[in-house]
Amino acid sequence: MELREAKENFIQAWGQLGSNWGVSKAMAQIHALLLISPKPMSTDEIMKELNISRGNANMNVRELLSWGLAYKKFLPGERREYFFAEKDIWDVAKKVGRERKKRELEPVLKMVNEVKDIKGRNKHAQEFRKVSKEVGKFARKTETALDLISRANESTFFKWFMK
């Protein structure tokens, strides 16, 4: 396979992956592009390569920076900013996990905490208390596990399972 075609596949698959997480396709595609680029890229290069607008490129590069998935690089004698991706895949996974925890787990924890003291003694109230308590317990354990994972290194993590 030619590099051109492979790049296209890689970028499309990564974009698809992004959509499945509620990450914009452009953000995931820029990430893919930077991941496979041997050198930092400017906004203009990104726009051209992916056929997206300046505004879109800029907004999604900022988002990648805020997730810690890309970094800035200033080239000597150059005014414009260049961007490069975090290439340690374990680190990428941890950073994505951290954002997903923020968006998925935390709202659930907040909610179960708010609803835990419900009035009523009928079946509906009892079932509600039971289920929301279970959900809360599970969410807290998951939070603890994610915190441990985010401090572990890759080989430690996989050894937990493989033994």
Contacting residues toward DNA, per CB under 7 A: 19, 22-27, 42-44, 51-56, 58-62, 78-81
* Residues 6+ away with beta carbon under 8 Å from 117: none
Shortest CB 129 distance to DNA, Å: 27
Q: How far apart are alpha carbons 14 and 10 in whole angstroms? A: 6
Give the nearer residue to a copy of itself in terms of CB position, either 73 or 100.
100
Within 76-95, the residues that bind a copy of itself by CB under 8 A are 87, 89-90, 93
Residue closest to 20 by CA, chosen among 28, 11, 32: 28
What does R_g of the chain's alpha carbons equal in angstroms?
21
> What distance in Å separates the CA atoms of residue 140 and residue 136, rounded to the nearest whole number?
6
Cα separation of 101 and 106, whole Å? 6
Residues near a copy of itself, by CB under 8 A: 1-3, 6-7, 9-10, 13-14, 16-17, 19-22, 35-39, 87, 89-90, 93, 100, 103-104, 107-108, 110-111, 114-115, 117-120, 123-128, 131-132, 134-135, 137-138, 141-142, 144-145, 148-149, 158, 160-162
